[in-house]
Amino acid sequence: MGHKLIKPVMSAEEAVQNVKPGSSLMVGGFNYAGVPYTLIDALVAQGTADLHLISNDTLYANDQHPEGVGHGQLVVKRQCRKVTASHIGLNRETQRLFNEGLMELELVPQGTFVERIRCGGFGLGGVLTPTGVGTIHEEGKQVIESEGKRYILELPLKADVAFIRGYKADRWGNLTYFGTGRNFNPAMATAADLVIAEVDTILKEGEIDANDIVTPGMLVDILVLKGDGYYASRT
């Protein structure tokens, strides 16, 4: 069996060196669940800036967590040039930076967000969705009528790097997910040039039943074992 099928296991610090200034970065997770916390913490420590963060939300930044939680920290630390998300209401810094013109923000309906990522990863030129028709969301977009119904043409989203969070991995990079941690992770695993997966356990190839695998290892480039940070150890 070819060695190339075996995926490197790296420390988070080593893995995040692949994120360069100006990179577009997808980060999995919805609220607390399914977030690659250890990778994010390492990227915050590395300080790489000018990022285009593509994530459903920007987690929390509030009085209780002024430094931000998870990838919310990337916003608080001013490492993002742009954020593409569906909901940013729990991170006061994302709202403030956008309102003050200090950061670009693209808000996308959540179902459209995941479909755009799927288009990016599945070789589709876009998707026609009725979501947002008749609202300001359709402004500047192509509206297409088909079979008597109006749809917005939504274009693919891709990224240079994706940080995803899985549960079990094997050395081929095959992944399972746990709880509500699945969310955007399987879609993002298809849509980035480099996919780094943070997981709870790394097993030998063949130790995960093929029936349970959600993301095939061919999509995953680097494996990182989750650390013992507050949120990583609780999710």
Q: Which residues bind other proteins (CB under 8 A)?
A: 30-33, 56-57, 85-90, 95, 98-99, 105, 107, 109-115, 118, 129-137, 177-187, 214, 231, 234-235
Distances (CA, A) of 14 to 45, 54, 109, 212: 12, 22, 34, 29
Least Å distance between CB 57 and other proteins? Answer: 8
Residue placing its CB nearer to other proteins in the complex, 78 or 231 = 231
Residue placing its CB nearer to other proteins in the complex, 48 or 185 = 185
Least Å distance between CB 227 and other proteins? Answer: 16
- 97's tokens: 């930076």
> How far is it, in rounded angstroms, from Cα 30 to Cα 67?
19
Residue placing its CB nearer to other proteins in the complex, 105 or 225 = 105
Least Å distance between CB 182 and other proteins? Answer: 5
Residue placing its CB nearer to other proteins in the complex, 201 or 231 = 231
> How far is it, in rounded angstroms, from Cα 163 to Cα 15?
10
The answer to whether residues 37 and 70 touch, using CB atoms and an 8 Å cutoff, is yes
Least Å distance between CB 234 and other proteins? Answer: 5
Least Å distance between CB 21 and other proteins? Answer: 26
Q: Position of tokens 């459209």?
A: 112
> How far is it, in rounded angstroms, from Cα 225 to Cα 235?
13
**Closest C-alpha among 204, 209, 208, 192 to residue 36:** 192
In 93-133, where do the E strands start and end?
104-107, 127-129
Distances (CA, A) of 193 to 11, 56, 102, 227: 20, 19, 28, 24
Least Å distance between CB 51 and other proteins? Answer: 19
Residue placing its CB nearer to other proteins in the complex, 31 or 46 = 31
Residue placing its CB nearer to other proteins in the complex, 48 or 113 = 113
- 108's tokens: 């996308």
